[in-house]
Amino acid sequence: MTLHISQSRGSTQTPLWRSLYVQVLVAIALGILLGWLEPNLGAQMKPLGDGFIKLVKMIIAPVIFLTVVTGITGLGNLGDVGRIAFKTFAYFIVMSTLALIVGLVVANLAQPGAGLNIDPAAVDTSHVAEFTAKAHDQSLTGFLMAMIPTTLVAALANGDVLQVLVVAILFGVALARVGERGAPIVDLLERVTTVIFDLVGILMKAAPIGAFGAMAFTIGKFGLGTLVHLGGLVACFYLTALVFVVVVLGTVAWAAGFSIFKLLAYLKDELLLVLGTSSSESALPALMAKMEGAGCSKPIVGLVVPTGYSFNLDGTNIYMALAALFIAQACNVDLTLGAQISLLLVAVISSKGAAGVTGAGFITLAATLSVVPSIPIAGIALILGIDRFMSECRSLTNFIGNAVATLVIARWEGALDRGMLKHALG
């Protein structure tokens, strides 16, 4: 089913103008042009981007629920679920820590905020009040409690990724425990899954419209001129993310037996969609389909991808390290090595649960700074204007990190079809 989706996208018989990759690329270019030439009109295109993201988010909860439940029942042995979960979280923690370390090292070497000499008391914080207010709700206890839905169906109704994942795992385990008596339910869910993924294919046809609207709004609202003032930080972040993807994730991919560049080419449609919408969630269903098409077993995809969207946020971690030190440098706050290590430890925890949607990284940054008092939290107002541009890079890096994680863990588990992988990446 999902393999068919992936193959049809990459078919050589498809005319170039009908390729999703080309359509989204053209839409992004037109969005940038409109936002630049007609900023007011470009800003009014926001509903197109928001509408598409809402359409995709509408389908995310059932996709995750169905994939996880049918995946767990397909494993047969519940001990496998625990083993996969352990390996998955161990991998996420290691990669998240590496991303933070890379961000801290680059920030110390490049010093993007040095010389700005900003007085925190003179910074207008009115525009960031909503983010700092939400940051107070980002405690570890609050995060864990928020994973539990009020009712069994509330998670599906609200569309909270973590809550859906919790309900799906519990339901899948229970369904696996009842054995043959649950077989009719499993068969029904597998049939529904076929329909849902066909619906995903229908929704993806609107991707160019969503990418056009989101990009036109970004350029029209914030303007390319915004990049001039804080271009050093933006360039530093993009280059750091690029190095992380090519060097760190590339090394991990090489060790697992595949090329990071071939993987990026395989995911080019989804990467452009993430770039255009500044949201990795917009491509979550398509990523799950592509990972199955690349030979990963359904249980691995169902467990790793949704979990990674909350716990494996490489781009967000790099952003937090760079942004936190940029603010400290701009406000002439000298952070000791111990303070930077404390920042890293706090960020490892606070970054968990930051969904791949626009603005989540900014809220997580505020939450991190709120527990590191030596850095003025008011300083986040300095980067508000460029956060939208950085959001795109955060989402892209998060997305690529989760694709790599899925393939790596599938290989560890012996659940990766090497023939399918070679065919997909070739």
Mean pLDDT of 292-315: 87
Residue closest to 339 by CA, chosen among 351, 352, 354, 321:
321
- For the ranges 100-104, 250-254, 272-276, the one whose mean pLDDT is highest: 250-254
Does the pLDDT at position 247 exceed 80?
yes
Q: What is the pLDDT of residue 254?
A: 96
In terms of Cβ atoms closer than 10 Å to its own Cβ (0-12, 13-18, 19+), residue 333 is: middle
The percent of residues in the chain predicted with pLDDT above 90, rounded, is 19
Confidence of residue 357 (pLDDT cuts 50, 70, 90): very low
Q: Is the torsion defined by CA of 270, 202, 220, 33 positive or negative?
A: positive
| Fold type of domain 2-425 | Proton glutamate symport protein (1.10.3860)
In terms of Cβ atoms closer than 10 Å to its own Cβ (0-12, 13-18, 19+), residue 326 is: buried
φ, ψ of residue 417 to 5 degrees: the values are: -80, 105
Number of H helices and number of E strands within the chain?
23, 0
Per the prediction, the chain carries an average pLDDT of 80
Residue closest to 204 by CA, chosen among 8, 12, 423:
8
Q: What is the pLDDT of residue 406?
A: 95
The percent of residues in the chain predicted with pLDDT above 70, rounded, is 80
Structure tokens at 276: 């255009």
Q: Which residues contact 379 (CB under 8 A, 6 or more apart)?
A: 118, 120, 123, 327, 328, 330, 331, 369
Give per-residue pLDDT as tens, 326-341.
Answer: 888 887 878 778 778 8
Alpha helices in 10-124 (DSSP H): 20-37, 39-43, 46-75, 78-110
Contact status, residue 53 vs residue 206, Cβ threshold 8 Å: no
Q: What is the pLDDT of residue 141?
A: 65
Mean pLDDT of 213-220: 84
Mean pLDDT of 143-159: 77
Q: What is the pLDDT of residue 119?
A: 66
Q: What is the pLDDT of residue 149?
A: 83
- For the ranges 68-72, 221-225, 255-259, 311-315, the one whose mean pLDDT is highest: 255-259
Least confident window among 25-39, 176-190, 267-281, 345-359: 345-359
